[in-house]
Copies of this chain bind each other. A is one copy, B any other.
């Protein structure tokens, strides 16, 4: 009688021989399909357990069944868009709940890497490694990969939109609306020169910020000025520098912090260098990724981007798509929420989305 054999590689045929049935029967047992007598099933299972048989996943996928692996793609390198540990773990836990508990692998890919053939962040989909793909992070404005994913018909979800692909399966926040609300709020308070710290230049969320900001200004009868919008990277030093530069214009009396950094110290440092007093001669509306995440106490208002909330809903829709309960891309776009001065008692430690380089 065969023991758990370290040397023999057991295939489905070996199991079938051992059990005196055909490979098909074993296949059906392994995949929990009907049409096998209870007696045969238990006999086969006993052998499988005894010899420690597992189906070769490559062969299984090859033959046509969908892969059982959910891929996570990072369209922007981590050095450029440093997703925070908190967000990563948050994502992890959700993926585990929705997919891994069904036996699906969760797979990460780093792009780009060296290879004879050029590839992209959806490699796992093209190689039939993934059954579905979550694209975590902002898309570059000129991204073309997501279009090919969309056209492939495979389930996917992007944590962001793309102007050039309106049908994109997405779960995100309306950054344009966020910028619009922030600017309008400050304009309504009487400011005429509202500056903006703008993150994600070259990426879709950056473009959305610009659009929303300009729309609010035009509605107020003002012409957007280039000097009032500063692109920033996700770095404390850079933000302090850019705040300094923006506030060097003495006519600037209000600032939107859409840097995404949620970092009070960098903002304060920049103000101080410019000889300004935050909350006194400069009003500020910072953006936050948690409902009452305390960015700056001196803020006259705060914009909450319910990114996790949108992502959470989007992932659930993706799970339905993957598991056959829906057939179409999903579009989850949450509106941001502007709150006037949050009472100190309600302020919470920010649950950051990104980390700083420095």
Contacts and interface: CB of A to CB of B under 8 A. Distances in A.
A128 interface: yes
Given A54-B127, A89-B85, A148-B52, A106 B108 contact: yes
A103 interface: yes
Q: How many identical chains are in the complex? A: 2
Interface in A55-74: 55-62, 67, 69
A259 B106 CA distance: 30
Interface residues of A, number: 56
8 contacts: A56-B62, A58-B60, A58-B61, A58-B129, A100-B113, A103-B113, A105-B124, A105-B129
Contacts of A86: 85
Interface in A12-59: 29-32, 45, 48-49, 52-59
A151 interface: yes
A115 interface: yes
Contact of A114 (B55, B93, B102, B110): B102
Interface in A107-128: 107-110, 113-119, 123-124, 126-128
B32 A116 contact: yes
B114 A109 contact: no
Contact of A105 (B31, B109, B115): B109
Contacts of A101: 110, 113-114
